[in-house]
Structures are given as structure tokens and as C-alpha cells.
Amino acid sequence: MAREVGRAVRSLTIGNLPPVTSPADTAPLVETKGLKHAYKDANTRKQVLHGIDLTIQPGSAVFLTGFSGSGKTTLISLIGCLRSVQDGSLKLLGEELNGASQAKLRTMRRRIGYVFQHFNLLDFLTIRQNVQQSLELQADFSPREAKRRSEEMLDLVGLGDRCNAYPAALSGGQKQRVAVARALVHRPRLVLADEPTAALDSGTGREVIDRFSKLVKQQNSAALVVTHNMRILDAADEIYHMEDGRLAAAVGEQLSLTLPTLSDIQLRSVAGETTKRLFKPGEIVIQQGDEAREFFILLNGAVEVMRELPDGTTQFLARLDERGQSFGEIGLLQDHARRTATIRAVEPGETEVLVISKETFAAMVSDSWQTHAVLKDQMARYMLSYEK
């Protein structure tokens, strides 16, 4: 389900330690195909996952949202080897887990990092000992090396001066930073986080998730983060939405990032009316002079904005390559409703856009004057930059 377009693989260093992975290491870290799960007891059977296809590439932060009971924790616990696979394929770090023995699951579990909602720190250990504990499960660390690395990791999460404190003396945000240090200290390729900001206020949650994503990327690891927190979704490279045990594209979440002025009700109605479209490099998304019929939000890839001048020359206006950037509003907001520029998909790969029809766009701006104002402002800024 996740896109397979290769990502730039970094091999940055953490502190002064050597790089963790070779730059060539670009194989998916997680690949599920038709993954299903049911909870059973003596006389009931409840199907919770109905065939999940999900791919997680190195270096990416994948966020998973969805209503309570939709199956998010079940999925993360299967990927985290906390449950056995019943049906379908789940490859973790290249190894198939369907049919794996308990011993194998235990070994694989050590190669992953976990962050939970309620920190799960041991109260009778200092925070350095809490972090160090996760390294000591790995065979190849002397206690001295483990201590040094743990202190370094705590320094990276901003707690270098609190190594000897006990968890009880820390705030919620600080505890969660310890949990992040503990999850990352053995440099796992994959880190799983189930509601990591749920017990934190929004500012603290934001700070924790920012540090977390930065460190995950520095290690060229990947993260799968389950969250209800709409305010941290911009830290994601990809967002999925779980609905009754099925993965769906998170259109509503993407819309709320691009147009934060839409209310939840509007988000739901607009999300239901959108479609996705793919363009190959070179393909035209909008042709100058055509009638304006749609509004676009960039999901993946890049586009270039060009304008043909009366003298027949072409002027390059802009390149858009950030997920969530929108375009196409100029023709829709202006009376003459003609395209004022040509927009085409460009390298490196396929470009994926969310398409909103003229009618849905009109309803969206008439229902929300703030959204109208945001789009008007964007239009004015584009027009100004085009005139330069």
C-alpha cells in the first residue's frame, strides 16, 4: 500500500558513533500482504484485521490514525512480534514471521524499538539504567560501553544532566523522552510507537515527537506511529487511516494539514468527494488557457509551474515538491476561470495528487470563510511572485 518510490537513504551518524547501515540498505523494513487477525475464545471469534497491505521503507515515518477499536494496536503488536501471525504474510527486516517460532519472535523483538503511551519505565532504576537495560539485552555490549552509549542517547534527547534521576522525579514529557532514548539506544532499524503523545499536553507531545522523528531519521531507521493527535501529523512522511480493520488513505488527515481551517464536518464531506490521480514525469496536470475545473493537493512527487508569454517564450515560475502543497485555486477563485499557467509533473518519480472538483471546492470555500481567506492569500502570494 505504501509507495515504493525509493527514498534518499541517509547514513548520518548519531553523536560521534559510526554510521549504522550501509547506504545501499534500501530493502523495506516491513512488508505485509493480506495480513489478517482474529481474536478467539471458546465460543466467539472476532475478525479484527481484514487483509492489510503495508510497506515501510527505511528513513520514513509512517503514521497510523483511526477510530478506537479499528485495529491499530493489533497491527502494531503483530509487526512488533508481540503476537503470532495467523494469516497472511508479514516480513519484518526481510524475515517472514508467519510460521515463526516463539524463540524467533523473541529474537526479532530485540531488534525493534518500542515507545508506549504510558512510558513503561522501571521506577527502581535511574533513567540511565532504564535506557541501559535495553542495550544489555543485546549480546555484544560491555557494561561500560552500554553506560557510555546510554548517557550519549540521553544527551541527545536533552536529558544528559539527569542521568542519575529516578523516573518519579521527571515530568511526563521528560519520561517519554527517556522512553524514546530507551527505544533508540540499540539503534533498531524499526521503532514502533503506540500513542506516544497521548499522556502529554499538546506542546510537550509536539516536542517529543519532533525529537523522536529527527533521531529516527538520523539513524536511517523507520517509525510506525499510532496516534489520535492531529497536531503531530505533519511529522509524518505517510499517513494511513485504519477503518474497521482495513487500511485506507488518510485523505481527511491530509486535507486538515493543508487546510487547517476546515471543520471536522467539512473535512469529512470534502474527503468523501476527493479522488487521487497519478502523473508520470512530463505529464500535464493543468494546461494554461484551459477551463479551471479542479483543485489539487500534492501527495507525492513534484510539479513545475510554467507560463507561456505572449512572445512565445516560456517562463519558469515555481517548483512545488512538498507534500500538502496545493495548487489550481487561481483559476477557481477568479471570475474568468481559465488556467493562468501550465503545471506538469517532473522527476524524480510519479507524482500523486488529491483532486477536488470545482463544485466541492466552491462548497468548501463558501462554507468556511477562513478557508476562503487562506486560499485567497495563497493566490495573492503566487500572483505576486509570478510578477517578479
Ligand X SMILES: Nc1ncnc2c1ncn2[C@@H]1O[C@H](COP(=O)(O)OP(=O)(O)OP(=O)(O)O)[C@@H](O)[C@H]1O
Residues that bind ligand X (CB under 6 A): 39, 46, 48, 66, 68-74
Least separation in angstroms between residue 63's CB and ligand X is 13
Least separation in angstroms between residue 114's CB and ligand X is 15
How far apart are alpha carbons 119 and 48 in whole angstroms? 26
Among 32, 73, 132, 150, binds Mg ion (CB under 5 A): 73
List the single partner that 124 binds among Mg ion, ligand X, none, CB under 5 to 8 Å by kind: none
Among 71-79, 112-120, 271-279, 296-304, the segment contacting Mg ion (CB under 5 A): 71-79
Furthest CA-CA distance within the chain? 79
Least separation in angstroms between residue 38's CB and ligand X is 9
How far apart are alpha carbons 328 and 5 in whole angstroms? 25
| Backbone phi and psi for residue 253, each to the nearest 5 degrees, phi listed first | -65, -40
How far apart are alpha carbons 127 and 133 in whole angstroms? 10
Determine if 213 is a binding residue for Mg ion (CB under 5 A): no
Locate all alpha helices (DSSP H) within 49-126, ordered by sequence: 72-79, 102-109
List the single partner that 71 binds among ligand X, Mg ion, none, CB under 5 to 8 Å by kind: ligand X
Angle between helices 358-367 and 369-387 (to 10 degrees): 110
Nearer to ligand X, 155 or 243 (CB): 243
Nearer to Mg ion, 73 or 326 (CB): 73
Least separation in angstroms between residue 39's CB and ligand X is 3
Least separation in angstroms between residue 62's CB and ligand X is 15
Neighbouring-strand partners of residue 143: none
Q: Beta-strand (E) ranges in the chain?
A: 30-40, 45-56, 61-66, 87-92, 95-96, 112-115, 190-194, 222-226, 238-243, 246-249, 275-279, 284-286, 294-300, 302-308, 314-320, 326-327, 342-346, 351-357
Locate all alpha helices (DSSP H) within 239-293, ordered by sequence: 251-258, 264-272
Length of the chain: 388
Nearer to ligand X, 55 or 74 (CB): 74
Determine if 74 is a binding residue for Mg ion (CB under 5 A): no
Among 67-75, 82-90, 145-153, 298-306, the segment contacting Mg ion (CB under 5 A): 67-75
Nearer to ligand X, 23 or 69 (CB): 69
Q: How many CB atoms lie within 10 A of CB 67?
A: 12
List the single partner that 48 binds among ligand X, Mg ion, none, CB under 5 to 8 Å by kind: ligand X
Least separation in angstroms between residue 325's CB and ligand X is 30
Binding site for Mg ion (CB under 5 A): 73
